[in-house]
Structure 1
């Protein structure tokens, strides 16, 4: 069970970091002609606990909306923090369990 909680949290943090990286790259290239935004899609990992994230380019070069990227960066930061808290809580629970067993 502990491994599942750790892998769920770790995969969530990796996905959130990927979202933040893609958004930062979009902002950096906002003025690049014909730039196609990077987007991250996430899905539940059927073969393992957690989430699988993949980065793709949008099909059309519609440009970058900075306000949309700011919201995406905030959402990715909150997702990272939530998954980090899951891992920390799991570590605390394991430490408490070891203290009880000792």
Structure 2
């Protein structure tokens, strides 16, 4: 696996996390507009938002590590 594919995979994962966050945000906004809020659904979406945050952070760290490795490789060859 090349370093560019590591970055590509990490960017894809960050995009997935953003989509998950957008989906749960839309769900919560719809729930807020309803008179009877199902607290279980609200809690589930809040947890999903935290998962999306951790997913984004993990993929960001993977991306940063890949970039650092690429920089080190270029330093060694340069």
Does residue 1:97 correspond to 2:73, yes or no? yes
Aligned to 2:48: 72
**Structure with higher helix content:** 2
Superposition deviation, residue 32 in structure 1: 4.4
Q: TM-score, normalised by structure 1?
A: 0.67
Structure 2 gaps of 5+ residues are none
Structure 1 gaps of 5+ residues are 34-61
Paired with 2:73 and 2:15, the residues of 1 have a C-alpha distance of 27
* Secondary structure at the counterpart of residue 100 of structure 1: helix
Paired with 2:51 and 2:22, the residues of 1 have a C-alpha distance of 13
Aligned to 1:23: 24
Large movers: runs of 4+ above 4 Å: none
Does residue 1:8 correspond to 2:9, yes or no? yes
Superposition deviation, residue 22 in structure 1: 0.2
* C-alpha RMSD of matched pairs (Å): 1.7
Q: TM-score, normalised by structure 2?
A: 0.86
